[in-house]
C-alpha cells in the first residue's frame, strides 16, 4: 500500500495533455491517441519499475502531450550499471508488449485493427527511443557505457557529438515524412544538452570531491577523472586523490 501511494504521489498529468484528449475526441481521433498513449505509458512505466527495483528515488512521472516523462533524482550520480538498467528497461518493454498484445488479440480482447495500431506504435516507440539522440534512451545507454571505459569529460563530449550528428542525419532523412514537432523538440533538447555540459561536469567534480570510495582505482596523467573508480595522480612527489584532483579541476570552471 505504501509503494502504491508513493507511485500515485509522483504522477502528474499536464493540462495540455487533457486538452489533447478533448480535442482528439471532438475530431474523432481519440482511439488512435489513446492507443499511442498506452504504448508510451508502458514504456515509461518500465523505467519507473526499474527505479523501484533499484531503490532509486523518482521525483516525477509526467503525462505529456507527446507521451510520458520520468524525472529521476540525481541520476548523474548513479553508477553506470544502474543507469544502464534504468534506460534499457524502456526499450525492453517493447518485447513484453509484443507478447501481451498478441495474447490480447488471440483471446478477442482487442480486435485486429487495434492490435495492428498497438503493434505499429510499439515498434515506432522502441525504434525512436533507441536512437542515440539526447534525451532518448539510446543516447543515455551509449553515454553510460562510455562512462565505464573513458574519463568522464571525454565520455560526455563524445556522447554530445554522437547526439548532434545523429540528430542532423535523422532530421535530414525525415524532414518530409516525420512529425515536425518531434524534430523541433529534439532540436531544443540538443541545444540544452550542449549548454548544460559545463554544469553537469561541475556536478560530477563536486561529487568526486566528496571522495566516495570505490573498489577499483586508476592512475591518471592529467586531471580528467574516471567516474567508476578512485583516481590518483602523481604531482610534485605527492599523490593526489579524487578530492584533491576535483578541487584543482573545479577552480578552472568557477
Q: Half-sphere exposure of residue 221, counting CA atoms within 13 Å on the CB side?
A: 0
- Residue given cell 521525483 in the structure block: 59
pLDDT on residue 211 = 67
The residue among 97, 96, 107 whose CA lies nearest residue 36 is 97
- Provide the sign of the torsion angle of the four alpha carbons 161, 166, 171, 172, taken in this order: positive
Which cell is 234 given? 602523481
pLDDT in tens, 132-173: 999 999 999 999 999 999 999 999 999 999 999 999 999 988
Higher per-residue confidence, 20 vs 44: 44
Give 29's DSSP letter.
-
Grid cell for residue 62: 509526467
Per-residue pLDDT of 43-74, as tens digits, reads 989 999 999 899 998 888 888 776 778 888 78
- Of 31, 193, 41, residue with least CA distance to 125: 41
Residue of higher predicted confidence among 167 and 212: 167
Q: Residues 6 or more apart from 169 whose CB is under 8 A from it?
A: none
Amino acid at each position: 500500500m505504501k509503494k502504491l501511494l508513493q507511485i500515485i504521489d509522483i504522477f502528474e498529468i499536464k493540462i495540455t495533455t487533457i486538452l489533447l484528449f478533448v480535442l482528439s475526441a471532438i475530431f474523432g481521433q481519440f482511439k488512435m491517441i489513446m492507443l499511442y498513449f498506452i504504448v508510451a505509458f508502458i514504456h515509461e512505466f518500465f523505467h519507473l519499475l526499474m527505479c523501484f527495483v533499484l531503490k532509486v528515488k523518482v521525483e516525477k512521472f509526467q503525462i505529456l502531450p507527446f507521451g510520458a516523462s520520468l524525472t529521476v533524482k540525481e541520476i548523474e550520480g548513479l553508477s553506470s550499471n544502474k543507469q544502464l538498467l534504468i534506460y534499457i528497461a524502456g526499450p525492453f518493454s517493447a518485447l513484453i508488449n509484443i507478447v501481451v498484445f498478441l495474447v490480447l488479440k488471440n483471446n478477442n480482447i482487442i480486435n485486429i485493427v487495434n492490435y495492428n495500431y498497438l503493434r505499429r506504435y510499439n515498434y515506432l516507440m522502441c525504434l525512436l527511443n533507441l536512437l542515440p539522440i539526447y534525451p532518448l534512451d539510446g543516447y543515455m545507454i551509449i553515454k553510460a557505457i562510455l562512462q565505464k571505459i573513458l574519463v568522464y569529460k571525454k565520455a560526455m563530449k563524445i556522447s554530445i557529438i554522437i547526439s548532434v550528428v545523429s540528430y542532423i542525419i535523422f532530421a535530414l532523412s525525415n524532414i518530409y515524412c516525420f512529425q515536425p514537432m518531434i524534430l523541433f523538440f529534439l532540436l531544443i533538447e540538443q541545444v540544452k544538452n550542449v549548454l548544460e555540459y559545463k554544469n553537469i561536469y561541475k556536478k560530477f567534480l563536486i561529487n568526486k570531491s566528496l571522495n566516495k570510495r570505490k573498489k577499483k582505482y586508476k592512475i591518471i596523467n592529467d586531471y580528467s577523472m574516471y567516474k567508476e573508480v578512485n583516481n590518483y595522480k602523481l604531482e610534485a612527489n605527492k599523490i593526489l586523490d579524487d578530492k584533491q584532483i576535483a578541487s584543482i579541476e573545479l577552480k578552472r570552471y568557477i
